[in-house]
Structure 1
Amino acid sequence: MGRVQPRYRVLGPGRAPHADGTEGPVRGARLAALFAALAAAGGRPVTPAALADRVWAGDDTGPEDPAAALQALVARLRRALGTGTVVSVPGGYRLGAEREDVDLFRFERLAADGSAALAAGDAGRAAALLDEALGLWAGPALADLPDRATDPLVLRVEQRHAGARRDRLAADLALGRAADALAPLTALCAGRPLDEPLQALRIRALRDTGRAAEALAAYEEVRRTLADRLGADPGPELRALHEELLAGAAPPPAAGRPAPPLPARLTSFIGRDEELAALGAELASARLVTLLGPGGVGKTRLALEAAEAYPGDGAVHLAELASVREESEVPEAVLTALGARETLLRGAGELLGGDALSRLVEFCAGRRMLLLLDNCEHVVGAA
């Protein structure tokens, strides 16, 4: 039996079941934008003002009466897709769907599960999950939104798409398929010259296919690019790989991989030195620091930069909670981010059971770390 596919598709041009029983594109620029804006909320309510801002983004004229124009557009979408597609709720509208009825949110869950499987050393399961996740893409995310180029959700999902492609190729390397991974890695690296984890995969693929001299040349190319464009040296992962290449070390056994680094930032970070210094001071004196502000102002980027500069002696981990649907799922999501989702062992082989929160406390109790909980406003109680 084949997998049940998402009902609503926004990883590419919008597609949905229609009132006549067929499935196809949502036709009309405004109608498609409204559908994309509703789908982007994953079944959560959206205010009329927020919907109007997205549908008519960049239109200097816009409707004279946005509320009336939106009502008319909602009525048209209901006629096209069925009356239950758009649900009126107090204060706004929502898509009549669960989060995983929308391909975007199913992709995020599958990609996260695939990354966790790879971190746990199960490259075969990771490959299957990531293949399913990447197979949902049929074009640019939320392609019908007028302001997609600056939309924080679009930027986040496309970054995760790049991460999923990288993890899928890492799974191939772990499965001994370096020859299959080399060509797509080379193509990806050409477009992402500053993505150090991706460049490290290409260098490993060259090494694992017996092309050690080319691997050393590729490292030198990456080192020069980082120096010329960022004024920076390669990070610890690339430096360690370089030492292995110089020593002629055999690749380590594929029993897992280290905790993934913080996401690469491909643009410079200037003009926020005071905020960064203030956040660093807070981190030095408090166990819990919360960043507040409207969407899109750069909270995540500021937190990542502060984490990179954090002088503490523990590891830094990022738990991305945007795709978590229920507060009860937060501890499991954080366990996944820490690479500790599998059953833990305590003492001389005694199995540690209990709920996810208990396992999380047990895992963290003996460790020093800085933990970033990102996009957690919808599950803030559990966070």
Structure 2
Amino acid sequence: MARTPPRGPIRQNGPVQSSQEPTPSHQVPYRVLGPARALRADGTEAGLSGARLRALFTALAAAGGRTVAPDVLIDQVWAEEGDEDRIPALHALVGRLRRALGRDAVTSAPGGYRLAAAPDDIDLFRFERLADQAVRELDAARPEPAARLLDLALGLWHGPALADLPGHATDPLAVRAEARRDRARRDRLAADVALGRARDALGPLAALTAEHPLDEPLHALHLRALRAAGRPAEALAAYETVRRALADRLGTEPGPELSALYRELLEGEQVTPEARRPLPAPLTSFLGRDEELRSLGDELTAHRLVTLTGPGGVGKTRLALAAAEATAEPQVRLAELAAVREESGVPTAVLTALEARETQLWSGSTLPDPAGRDPLAALVDHCARRRLLLVLDNCEHVVGAAAKLTAELLAHCPGVTVLATSREPLGVPGEVVRPVGPLPEGSALRLLGERGAAARPGFSVGEDREAAAEVVRRLDGLPLAIELAAARLRMLTVRQIAERLDDRFRLLT
């Protein structure tokens, strides 16, 4: 008799209690959401040794208990390895799989072979059932049971779908499963927003929208989360970002849902103390630089120009924004210079950043029209009687113009303090230069662990600490490089990443 292990009940209506569901991963007999693993009828783990044996098991498990024809199995297991007769080899491989799983686990049927298992015995199909139940709970405005179901569903993943199939990255079922996983991650964040935890969802949502710049429903959820977190100005900026992406890449305007949200944001925009400090919302937590942050705060209190220097990817911008967020200054403004191509455009870029915010915050008091005037003179006039912390980000490619602008502001605007980030100092009198170095290994491992867990739920550096330490060492402790490596944990193990770092550019881009 084929074994069918006990499984949790499938409820079609009403909230599902977590106590009625099995715990994920280890109680699912057959696992293909990651490297193939299987349990025998007695609960011991089956030894699936050999790439083709794992591929055959994965192909049968992906069928969910349905019969699979021999020619289909051959195509999946041997892929592009020639046209010779593989039928005898397939028969031998099925025999090996029966010995590994148990004699009755793989049955012959008219037209092929099948895995003697119910769909819920296979993690792929249990994931889909749990995710579908969660959608019904969300549709019924029951976010709490939806969140529990989605935690169970996402906990079943421990690597790429059907990872042991040759060509799994383009296999239609694997592609569908990965897309369904993205939808489940989105639904989990929607449950957080509905439960009043919008701030917790902002970082993961920002990462998802960056991965899917044209996904309007996802961007709509991000805007709702920003609004719920009390950040309407950032929601408006996020809307503008997706509007431009749709126009540039598809030649279309936002659809009804995004357009309606935009109108609601415009109608509900209020001037609040938080709105006077329009800094980008951090996508992720700030790690490993607490002492530097405290020292930087002291320097900004004592000096009017502090420049953070260091190589690209070392974390200058993130440290500057964290310091600006922590400052006691009543007004903080960010001027991002990365997109400025010519030095002559620097004053206009800074003036534009300030003008947009000032017009919004002080009704009836707008910036002077700089048409026909020197933009730098207009900027000095605007800032002359204001108290302001101005963050000039990414100055290195326009360092001459940034230095001239800073010198003018410091000379004529006594209430202005400048915090700059650059790969080289500005060279302005009174400048305090603070080099930003790589993260120490402990902080770098913590960063890899946190970002890795966001990319692949359940990841921990402890699963292969030696490989994780090798990754952060070979990436020189650079936060950006570590975050890019962590994103690859959706498809690779930390050991595989360490082994591929001889070609860092190809791996991380």
Q: What TM-score do the two structures reach when normalised by structure 1?
A: 0.62
Tell me which residue corresponds to 2:233.
213
SS at match of 1:36: helix
Preserved CA contact (<8 Å) 2:29 2:40: no
Q: Distance in 2 between matches of 1:233 and 1:140?
A: 34
Preserved CA contact (<8 Å) 1:58 1:147: no
1:87, distance to aligned residue in structure 2 (A): 0.8
The amino acid that maps onto 1:14 is A
1:65, distance to aligned residue in structure 2 (A): 2.2
1:26, distance to aligned residue in structure 2 (A): 2.6
* Aligned counterpart in structure 2 of residue 53 of structure 1, from 67, 75, 79: 75
Tell me which residue corresponds to 1:189.
209
* Aligned counterpart in structure 2 of residue 110 of structure 1, from 127, 130, 144: 130
* Aligned counterpart in structure 2 of residue 119 of structure 1, from 118, 122, 139: 139
1:152, distance to aligned residue in structure 2 (A): 1.5
Over residues 253-295 of structure 1, what are the superposed CA-to-partner deviations in whole Å (9 max), with x where a residue is unaligned?
xxxxxxxxxxxxxxxxxxxxxxxxxxxxxxxxxxxxxxxxxxx
Tell me: CA distance 1:24–1:72, structure 2 relative to 1, closer, same or farther (3 Å). closer
The amino acid that maps onto 2:52 is R
Over residues 6-53 of structure 1, what are the superposed CA-to-partner deviations in whole Å (9 max), with x where a residue is unaligned?
210001111001488522663211111100100011001111111111
How do 1:34-73 and structure 2 match up within 5 A? 34-59=56-81, 61=82, 64-73=84-93
The amino acid that maps onto 1:227 is A
1:209, distance to aligned residue in structure 2 (A): 1.2
Q: Which runs of 4+ in 1 moved over 3 A?
A: 18-21
SS at match of 1:23: coil
Q: Distance in 2 between matches of 1:109 and 1:19?
A: 23
The amino acid that maps onto 1:54 is Q
* Aligned counterpart in structure 2 of residue 78 of structure 1, from 87, 90, 98: 98
The amino acid that maps onto 2:211 is G
Q: Distance in 1 between matches of 2:220 and 2:43?
A: 48
Unpaired stretches in structure 2, ≥5 consecutive residues: 1-18, 271-509
Tell me: CA distance 1:157–1:16, structure 2 relative to 1, closer, same or farther (3 Å). same
Over residues 292-325 of structure 1, what are the superposed CA-to-partner deviations in whole Å (9 max), with x where a residue is unaligned?
xxxxxxxxxxxxxxxxxxxxxxxxxxxxxxxxxx
Tell me: CA distance 1:128–1:20, structure 2 relative to 1, closer, same or farther (3 Å). closer
Structure 1 residue 151 and structure 2 residue 185: aligned?
no
Higher radius of gyration, 1 or 2: 2
Tell me which residue corresponds to 2:150.
130
SS at match of 2:114: strand
Number of corresponding residues? 248
SS at match of 2:107: strand
Q: Distance in 2 between matches of 1:70 and 1:199?
A: 47
How do 1:1-383 and structure 2 match up within 5 A? 3=22, 5-18=27-40, 22-23=44-45, 26-59=48-81, 61=82, 64-248=84-268
1:177, distance to aligned residue in structure 2 (A): 0.5
1:159, distance to aligned residue in structure 2 (A): 1.1
1:150, distance to aligned residue in structure 2 (A): 2.3
1:141, distance to aligned residue in structure 2 (A): 0.6
Tell me which residue corresponds to 1:349.
none
**Alignment root-mean-square deviation, CA:** 1.8
Preserved CA contact (<8 Å) 2:131 2:153: yes
The amino acid that maps onto 1:26 is L
Q: What TM-score do the two structures reach when normalised by structure 2?
A: 0.47
Preserved CA contact (<8 Å) 2:46 2:101: no
The amino acid that maps onto 2:30 is Y
Q: Distance in 1 between matches of 2:87 and 2:242?
A: 52
Unpaired stretches in structure 1, ≥5 consecutive residues: 251-383
Preserved CA contact (<8 Å) 1:11 1:103: yes
1:136, distance to aligned residue in structure 2 (A): 0.6
Over residues 141-176 of structure 1, what are the superposed CA-to-partner deviations in whole Å (9 max), with x where a residue is unaligned?
111111222222112111111111111100111111
Tell me: CA distance 1:128–1:19, structure 2 relative to 1, closer, same or farther (3 Å). closer
Preserved CA contact (<8 Å) 1:219 1:242: yes
Residue range with higher mean Cα deviation, 31-40 or 75-84: 75-84
Q: Distance in 1 between matches of 2:41 and 2:117?
A: 15
